[in-house]
Amino acid sequence: MTKITKFIDYLLYFAIIIVYHMNGGDFLKNRLYIIILIISVCIMSSCSGTLDSSSVTTASPSSGASTENTTTTTTGNKASGTTVTDNPSDTTDTTASSDEGSSSGSTTTTNNGNDNDPTTTREPSGTTKPATTTAPPRVVIPNVYVATSPGREVYTCSVATVDASNKSQGYITVKYYGGKSLVMVLVQKDGEKYQYAIKTKGTTVVLPLTLGSGTYTIGIYENISGTSYSLALQKSVSASISNSLSPFLYPNQQVNFSQGSSCVYKSAQLCAGKSTDVQKVSAIFKYVTSNIRYDTAEANAIISGSVKNYCPNPDEVLSTKKGICYDYASLFAAMCRAQGIPTKLVKGYVGSNGLYHAWNQVYLKNVGWITVEYKARTGFNTLDATFYSGASNKSSVTANFTNTSYYKVYQVF
């Protein structure tokens, strides 16, 4: 029909031109011209309408759209071109593409049963909202107490040096540079004796003054052979300790750590986000008792005498995840001291059989639960990581923490 109407239109157009020339260019002198002009306008209008309606076609798959995706359903006041579903589980997104393309400009609205509100939506069933995540607490490496040898008060001999410059802080340092493979340092006060072995030449060793203020006698003895020793240096040192907790904050030979120690970093990780000392001690105690296993082979080697003058290394214990009671207590003390919490490494005897053992005493200002079985009090609290770690009945172990007749202190470091 389109081609026919165009052909007729062209014929009428030529007829108008011929009539025009026949009348000398005067339109109004010829009625035939006016009639032909009116018919031509009517036919052109009809032709134009036919062309406009025929130009609207549905896109085929080859043009990049699925016929199914162009289907339009209207409900209530919903706008044209919007797919609506009353069942959220059956919601279909009309913008979903086929293998060869997708239809543009389509949207999906979910109806909650209110046909008069096309904007009301709700999430389809089975949709899970993203979980709210909380950023992990920031790990802050603490500035630990560092023992120094400033040289203000020094006692020397040909093979060793004693630096007592920081005696008011509760420690001295000793350095041996002689030729013997084994040296013993004897620290005495009021009849009590602490003995320390130095097995590495040129190493500075930190020794605590844990017996409080008073006069200490420091003696350095070189091993001659077997159990024979020769005195190299002996001096008396008068110490006025400014803070009774200081000796249990600094590192020493038995609780050895530094700013860069692995145990210091681990302590920072465990205590991140913890605001009280009780929370920090609890976190450290739980870690040590859950991750360090008892080293029976090492214990047997010490008992048999094949290992002599054993001294714990907290970083090594943290790395191997094993140790004896001495190691448990040393690691726990190092991690607590790294957090500025005064902690003692205690040697003594436990139980009715007087088993030689090592454990901790930790000083707390807060009252709170360290474990579900044990609630800390203010002041020093006894904690035994070794026994707690291996106990099947945790309550029976923690009951002894406050039993002064069960734990008998011999020495503290």
Nearest to 168 by CA among 204, 214, 234, 233: 214
Segment 317-335 mean pLDDT: 98
* Structure confidence at residue 133 (pLDDT): 79
Confidence of residue 56 (pLDDT cuts 50, 70, 90): very low
Quick check: 69 pLDDT over 80? no
Top mean pLDDT of 30-44, 45-59, 96-110, 198-212 is at 198-212
CA 363 to chain CA mean position, Å: 27
Sequence-distant (6+) residues with CB within 8 A of 291 are 321
Do the beta carbons of residue 162 and residue 156 sit within 8 Å? Answer: yes
Do the beta carbons of residue 337 and residue 343 sit within 8 Å? Answer: yes
* Structure confidence at residue 260 (pLDDT): 96
Q: What share of the chain is helix, strand, coil (3-state, %, to 5)?
A: 30, 25, 45
Output phi, psi for 401, to 5 deg: -60, -25
108 beta partners: 83
Question: Which range (24-38, 293-307, 344-358, 381-395) has the least confidence?
Answer: 24-38
Question: Which range (52-66, 113-127, 149-163, 386-400) has the least confidence?
Answer: 52-66
- Predicted structure pTM score: 0.68
Quick check: 157 pLDDT over 70? yes
Per residue in 198-221, pLDDT tens?
988 999 999 999 999 999 999 999
Quick check: 35 pLDDT over 80? no
Quick check: 173 pLDDT over 70? yes
Segment 406-412 mean pLDDT: 97
Average pLDDT of the residues of the chain: 80
Report which DSSP code applies to 246: G
* Structure confidence at residue 42 (pLDDT): 57
* Structure confidence at residue 369 (pLDDT): 95
Quick check: 372 pLDDT over 80? yes
